[in-house]
Amino acid sequence: MAAQNFSPALPSYSRSAPYPKASPGYGKRAVPGQCPPAADDFAFLPERERYIAGYVDRLPDGAAMGIKSLAKCQPLYGQMAVGSALRALAVAGHLRQVRCAVGDGESIRWVTRTFWSRTARDNEWWTAFLAAEESRCAPQPAVAPVGPPPPWVPAEPAATDAVEAPPSAPVLPKQRAEESQGPSPAYLALAGLGRTDARLALSAADCVALEQLAAQWFARGVDADYLTRALTAGLPEAVDSPVGFVRRRLRDKLPPHLPAARDVPGRRLMVECADCGAFGKAEVFRDGLCGPCLRSAQGPATDPALEEDSGAGCDVRGHVRRLREQLAMRR
């Protein structure tokens, strides 16, 4: 009788999936002027905050910084713990979450960005940095381009001693413009539907016929990912006519025009409170918190006369000491 091997199998090593990238314009943004990575980075933070800080610090720029994404891609902490850790890191001076206006005119849209600093910063540094970032995001005045003439300007006659090229068919200005621009974002989004779900595979002629309807979605501030999700959500088991089905959804699900933000007209950047999520000017935030959340964190015994100076004279260790007291009370 052959002897059986009852030794347990060696555990298989599985590589973690690459961290998801955020949509264009969103995600992590590392601030300049940081110290090089060191073994004692975040050593003065509690264990949970130290782990999340080290994990976020290793992420590349543009990585998704949502609570769900962070909780899904690291094994130790769930969504509630990650959310509490991000709030603690904002109080400690390591991050600020902001909404930044991208585009201009009717095509303006707001994106959420997380500015990250391995080196803890005080309130004055963050206020100055975000003010500079807002001025950088402001639209620049249009400048007349200096370069080759547009396609409709006749070309300069060739030199007399040059070898004459054989005559060719004339190229119209409209044809030149189409060749230089390439496919529109609406056309590319429609062409990619079949790769997302084979039931909505469209031909080239179908994409051309639906291009104007899809362009109306882009004119209202949505991107290709939003359009794809809206068209492929809740599909029936079989789609007899993909072009007719997509045409119907493009008309029925056309998103509304979003008015411009009314609370802070003319501003291009707003800071998000790390606790309640309210938005406001960078200069009115302390430790990443708005006024009501800051007063609630400091407790009712705080002297109101000292609230204006509560962040100016505190160092990072003072912020962390207060943070540990809050964490101890919640446990």
Please tell me the predicted confidence (pLDDT) of residue 104.
66
Please tell me the predicted confidence (pLDDT) of residue 205.
94
User: Do 117 and 31 contact (CB within 8 A), yes or no?
Assistant: yes
Please tell me the predicted confidence (pLDDT) of residue 208.
93
Please tell me the predicted confidence (pLDDT) of residue 8.
45
Three-class DSSP labels, the chain: CCCCCCCCCCCCCCCCCCCCECCCCCEEEECCCCCCCCCCCCCCCCHHHHHHHHHHHHCCCCECCCHHHHHHHCCCCCHHHHHHHHHHHHHCCCEEEEEEEECCHHHCEEEEEEEECCCCCCHHHHHHHHHHHHHHHCCCCCCCCCCCCCCCCCCCCCCCCCCCCCCCCCCCHHHHHHHHHCCCHHHHHHHCHHHHCHHHCCCHHHHHHHHHHHHHHHHCCCCHHHHHHHHHCCCCCCCCCHHHHHHHHHHHCCCCCCCCCCCCCCCCEEEECCCCCCEECHHHCECCECHHHHHHHHCCCCCHHHHHHCCCCCCHHHHHHHHHHHHHHHC
13, 23, 30 from 58: Cα distances, Å: 21, 19, 11
Please tell me the predicted confidence (pLDDT) of residue 17.
54
Per-block average pLDDT, block size 10, for the chain (331 residues)? 46 52 84 84 89 91 88 88 91 89 70 89 89 72 48 48 47 47 86 91 94 90 87 89 93 79 58 80 80 74 41 52 60 52
The dihedrals phi and psi of 74, each to the nearest 5 degrees, come to -130, 145
User: Do 56 and 116 contact (CB within 8 A), yes or no?
Assistant: yes
Cα angle for residues 213, 218, 220 (degrees, 5° grid) = 100
Please tell me the predicted confidence (pLDDT) of residue 299.
65
Which pTM was predicted?
Answer: 0.49
Please tell me the predicted confidence (pLDDT) of residue 43.
85
